Amino acid sequence: MANCGCCGCVFSDSNTALIGGSGSSDDAFAYQIIDPTFYANRYALRRQKSALQSIPNNALTAIDFTTAAAGSFNRGFTFTAPSTFVILTSGIYIFGASVNFETNVTGTRYIDVLKNGTTIMDANESNSNIGSHSVSLSSTDKFLSNDTLQFRVLQNSGIALNAEFAGESSPVFWAVYIGKFV
C-alpha cells in the first residue's frame, strides 16, 4: 500500500483505488482527523457567570449567563440571553457544568442540562451537609444544529439559596465538539 504523505490516505498496491475503512479517506473519522481546520477551529464553549444568582426553594432554575466572567470563550455556538446555548453544527459533543451552592445543611442539591427545553441530557444530585456545596456533571451525546442547551439547578433547603460566584468554577457551563456522527 502507499500512503499519502500529507493526509494519511491509503492506496492499494495494485491500483490507484482508495481503500475504505480505518485510515483511508473513505472512513469518516479518518477524514475528519486530518482536516487541518478541525483542530485549529474546534468548536468549544466555556461560559462562566460573573455574579451570584439567588435560587428559589424547590424550583428548577436555569442559570442566567448574561454576564460572562473572564476566561469565558465561545467558538461555534450562539448564546441567547439569559440562559440558552445554541449548537450550530450537528455532531457529537462532550458537555458539562458545575455550581457551588451557598452553605445550608438542609435538603438536596440538584443540577441538570436540558436540551430543547424538554429533554434532560444528564443530571447529578447529592445531599447537603455542613459547608458550601459543589455539584458537577459531564456527559456526551449527539446533537443537531439549532439544538439548545440550558444549565438548570434546584435546591430544596426550604429557603432561597445563592448559586455562588466562585472564580472560574461556578457557575460554569461548557461544551466541546468531538466529531461528526454518520
Partner 1 sequence: MTCRCNALCNCFIISSTTTIAEGNGSQYNPWNFRPSPVPNPRPFGYADLTNSITITPAGTPVVIRWNRSSDIIGNGNNCAVHSDGNMFEYDASNGGTKMVAPVDGLYLVGTTIGHSTSSADLTDNFFLRKNGVTTICQTSYVSNATAGAVNQLDSITTIQDLNAGDYIEVVVVRSNGAGNFSVLTYTSVDFGGFAGSSFWANWLGGPF
Q: Is 42 in the site for partner 1 (CB under 8 A)?
A: yes
Identify which range of 15-23, 50-58, 78-86, 148-156 contacts partner 1 by CB under 8 A.
15-23
Interface pattern 111-140 for partner 1 (x via CB under 8 A): ---------------xxxxxxxxxxx-x--
Nearer to partner 1, 80 or 126 (CB): 126
Minimal distance in Å, beta carbon 76 to partner 1?
11
Pick the binder of partner 1 from 51, 54, 71, 158 (CB under 8 A).
Answer: 71
Q: What is the DSSP string of the chain?
A: -EE-TTT--EE-SSSSPBPPSTTSTTSHHHHHHT-HHHHHT--EEEEEBSS-EEE-TT--EE---SSBPTT-EEESEEEETTTEEEE-S-EEEEEEEEEEEPS--SSEEEEEEEETTTEEEEEEEEE--SS-EEEEEEEEEEE-TT-EEEEEEEE-SSS-EEEE-BTTTBSEEEEEEEE---
Q: Which three cell numbers stand for residue 12?
A: 492499494
Identify which range of 33-41, 51-59, 60-68, 78-86 contacts partner 1 by CB under 8 A.
33-41
| Binding-site ranges for partner 1 (CB under 8 A) | 2, 4-7, 9, 11-13, 15-16, 18, 24-26, 31, 33-36, 38-42, 44, 46, 71, 73, 75, 94, 96, 98, 100, 126-136, 138, 166-170, 172, 174, 176
